[in-house]
Structure 1
Amino acid sequence: MPEQRIRPLADSEKITINLGVVDLGQIDLLVQEGFYSNRTDFIRTAIRNQTTAHAEVLRQTVARRTLVLGLQDYSRSDLEAAREAGQRVRIHALGLVRIAADVSPELARETIESITVLGVLQASAQVKAALADRIH
């Protein structure tokens, strides 16, 4: 089955947020005063502080939902082995799931029953389209 590695993710995902002018001004003031190197540093720190504050809830939820935490890779050979064994894969992850570039849409549809990713799913556009009805 897939190789599962639990490690910090080196990749990052870009997000866009809208802030009120007062909040943005306060962030800029903290940056100017040297508390943070830039706006991004402030926002990352705030997010880390909140996830740390809710660490126990996150841990319990990950365990309850049986989510794989970290990086989960699915290669063509992983999915071919599942097909040969008559197995269907249910992907439940918090972090990053990568479906190899050489996985065909047909193989993905034959072997992947469902995908729930809290984080990032990396797969070809064709595989994502083939699995669109199975991605939650």
Structure 2
Amino acid sequence: MDGAMPGTDIEVRPRGGGETEKLTVNLGVVDLGQIDLLVQEGFYSNRTDMIRTAVRNQLAAHSDALRQTVARRALHLGLQHISRADLERVAAAGETLHIQAVGLARIADDVTPELARATIQSITVLGAFQASPAVRAALADRIH
């Protein structure tokens, strides 16, 4: 089963729900100086604001390609929260999940390693994956 469950919807939210990840970027001193100049001149409130704006502008410029790729690869875009009840319904149906997400995939803290292993066949996340250490360990060979 590819991420969807019969009669059940795993919560998928669009990007921007306050979830962030830290990213380290190395820039040349000239680029950094130009960013600092724009900040000093009031174009941006700080370096992070400028870099986030630049990234969003690039994502917007490639939005058609991103949309097509997400559709072609049957990916979930945004936040995908998988609850214990979701996985119990999958188990009751005798099925398994292939979780494919762009953004954040989160498995609820009350999901046991045994339930996760019995119901999740594979996990591919471009972005961030959150699960308890025990669930991560149980699914280690299924995380791509």
TM over 0.5: yes
| Root-mean-square deviation over aligned CA pairs | 1.2
1:46 to 40, 47, 54: 54
Which residue number corresponds to residue 131 of structure 1? 139
Residue among 11, 15, 36 paired with 1:4: 11
Is the 2:100–2:124 Cα contact (8 Å) retained in structure 1?
yes
Secondary structure of the residue aligned to 2:128 is strand
CA distance in 2, matches of 1:134, 1:2: 22
1:27 corresponds to 2:35 = yes
Q: Is the 8 A contact 1:83 1:111 kept in 2?
A: yes
1:110 to 104, 118, 140: 118
- Structure 2 contact 12–76 (Cα < 8 Å) conserved: no
- Give the 3-state SS of the residue equivalent to 1:77 in structure 2: helix
How is 1:91-102 mapped onto 2 (pairs within 5 angstroms)? 91-102=99-110
* Cα displacement (A) at 1:2: 4.4
The Cα offsets for residues 28-49 of structure 1, whole Å up to 9 and x where unpaired, read as 1111111111000010001001
CA contact (8 A) 1:83 1:110 kept: yes
Q: Secondary structure at the match of 1:103?
A: coil
**How many aligned positions are there?**
136
> Contact between 2:13 and 2:78, CA under 8 Å: does it hold in 1?
yes
TM, length-normalised to structure 1: 0.94
**Alignment gaps of 5+ in structure 1:** none
Displacement of 1:108 = 0.7
Return the alpha-carbon distance in structure 2 between the equivalents of residues 89 and 2 of structure 1.
12
Q: Which amino acid aligns with 2:54?
A: A
CA distance in 2, matches of 1:133, 1:2: 26
Unaligned runs of 5+ in 2: 1-7
- 1:119 alignment partner, one of 119, 123, 127: 127
2:45 is matched with 37
Secondary structure (helix, strand or coil) at the match of 2:53 reads: helix
**1:87 maps to which residue?**
95
Letter in 2 for 1:107: L
Percent identity (aligned): 66
